[in-house]
Structure formats: C-alpha cells, structure tokens
Amino acid sequence: MIEIKNLKKSFEDKAVLKGVDVVFDDGKCNLIIGSSGSGKTVLMKCMVGLIKPTSGNVLYDGEDFINLNEKEQKAIREKLGMLFQGGALFDSQTVEQNVMFPLDMFTTDKYAKKKERVKQVLDRVQLKEEAYRKFPSEISGGMQKRVALARAIVLNPKYLFCDEPNSGLDPQTSLVIDKLIQEITKEYDITTIINTHDMNSVMEIGDHITYMHQGEKEWEGNNKEIILSENQKLNDFIFASEFLKDAKRMRTIQETGEIPKDMPTGVKDAIEEKLNLDLDGDGHIGQPPGNDPPSKE
C-alpha cells in the first residue's frame, strides 16, 4: 500500500501540488487522471523519488520514503518498477539485454537462469523470440512499451508505476497494454499506479481512480462510479472523450426519457430500434420512411 499525505511541490513560485492526500491499495490498478498540467506526472515523480517534494509524506507500507536516508531509499527503489511514457529503453542494448539489465545489476544468478527469466517475462508480454536481438529503434512503439513493461517486472517489483502507458499508441495496441498491466497486477499482486488521460484505460482497468485538477485531488472512486459522478470538473474532463459522450447521452435518456439534441441521427435511430421506442417523438421508431440511402442503381 502507498499512502500520500499532504504532498506539496512548488517550482519557484508556482505551486504544482497543493497538498495531495491519497491511498493506493495493493493488487489494484490505481489510476491518476487529469488534464495536462494538473500535476499528475509531478505527483508520480515525487512518489518514485525523481523529484523532491516541498513537503508531505510518501509512505510505502508505512515507511516514509521522503525522510529515509539514501541507503534505505535504495532498498525501496529496488522494489519499484516503472514503465516510462517513451519506454526509456537503452538505445545501445538489444531487447534481450535491456530486460536482462536489472538482473545483471542486482542478482548473482547464472547466465542461463537469467536468460530463462528474460524469456519468461518477454513471453508474458507476448513478444516473439525474433525480436529479442533487435535494438529498440528497430521495433514498433507498442513493442517498445511491452519490452519496457517486461523490464519493469523482471525483478518481481512490489510497486509498478506506469506513466502514460498508451501515449502514441493506436487504440487496439493501447487495449493490449492495458490488459497486460491489469493481468500482471492481479498475477503478481502488486500495487500499480498509472498516470493517464486515456478514458478507454480508465473504463477498462480503473479499480481506483484519482482525478487531479490544478494540483489538487478533486475526486476519487472507481470506473463504475466515475460515469455517475456529480462533480462538474470531473464531468467536463471525462465527457470531453468522444466515446464517453455516448455514455452521457445514455444517462440523459435514462434520467429524463428525452433524447439529447446533440445525439448524431444515426446513433439515435439505432438506439430507438434497439429499445423499440420513439425517443425523438417523430412518430417513427428508427429511421423515418423515405430517408433510406439512395440505391446504387
């Protein structure tokens, strides 16, 4: 469990974190969401020790990371794995060498054992053997993210941090990465913290969601509660997403029985047909007669 207590961070005069309190539970995908500049990346960097906070505490299973000495901080860092936004793979090393690096540095295992472990984690992230000897520049963005994920979990971390794991990926690959992170979290029973503004991820894997707004925690809950939230700032943020606009429209239909004016006609007709209701009061269920698309003849 990771507990953040009254965490503050200012850069010169600008307060980026204004006293954040949040608890991240074990075995869950904990998401930090918020628009750009809301402080979520600074929060994550403070948690892993890349940025020193101005004040506050970061407790890893009760141990205050900020106030530990360097040796004790190092001991906690060895339990962390992090997946960076750009992958942060070492350019001069192959995929296999990248994943083996933490094992080389922190274990005294024989080469064969290390190689076996590398194969195990690369298989786990569904990377084929022909990619093992390739350099990061020779593989796709999605593959780079998977290699970075494999490197992050190769030492069986207790805490996994993912900074915008889906940035720059297509929706299908994003889904694969999300599912992998979710499965790995359950499989290894680790505390996973994900920084994202991808609403697909939020709805897919958000066991616990923290919404950040201008350096403060504005809302927290899970992916079922988020749609029903009455928080206006959160609603403005999540319903900016195109696919969640449909969820919002469905909510309006459910609550008022009226069809929203901004509902695209095709979607509205499809819903009418599905529910067998005349929602827009035009006297027809679905597409009115005469509106058929012109035949190709």
Partner 1 sequence: MRILREFGQFIKMAGGMFHKPENPKMYWKQFMLQCNDIGIGSLGIICIISVFIGAVSTLQTAYQLVSPIIPKSTIAQIVRDTVILEFAPTLSCIVLCGVVGSKIASELGNMRVSEQIDALEIMGINTKGYLVLPKILAGLVTIPLLIMLAMVLGIWGGRLAGTAAGIIDPTIFDTGLAMQFKAYNVYFALIKSVVFSFIITAVPAFYGYNVKGGALEIGHSSTRAVVVSCVLLLLADYILSALLL
Binding site for partner 1 (CB under 8 A): 48-50, 74-75, 77-78, 80-82, 84-86, 88-91, 102, 104-106, 161
Partners of residue 191 on adjacent β-strands: 159
What tokens appear for 161 in the block?
């941090």
DSSP state, 295?
Answer: P
Taking the least distance from each CB to partner 1, the nearer of 37 and 288 is 37
Q: How far is the CB of 247 from partner 1 (least distance, A)?
A: 34
**78/204 with CB nearer partner 1:** 78
Cβ nearer to partner 1, comparing 164 with 220: 164
Cβ atoms of 79 and 151 closer than 8 Å: no
Of 148 and 199, the one with the shorter C-beta distance to partner 1 is 148
- To partner 1, the closest distance from the beta carbon of 46 in angstroms equals 13
Q: How far apart are the first and last CA of the chain?
A: 66
Least separation in angstroms between residue 49's CB and partner 1 is 8
Nearest distance, CB of residue 150 and partner 1, angstroms: 13
Which residues are registered as beta bridge partners of 2? 24, 60
Distance CA(161)–CA(29), nearest Å, equals: 10
CA distance 91 to 288: 60
Query: Rounded to the nearest whole angstrom, what is the least distance from the CB of residue 194 to partner 1 in the complex?
Result: 15
Give the DSSP per-residue string, 9-50.
Answer: EEETTEEEEEEEEEEE-TTSEEEEE--TTSSHHHHHHHHHTS
> Would you say 88 or 285 has its CB closer to partner 1?
88
Sign of CA dihedral 91, 97, 140, 30: negative
| Shortest distance in whole angstroms from residue 45 CB to partner 1 | 8
Eight-class DSSP state of 293: P
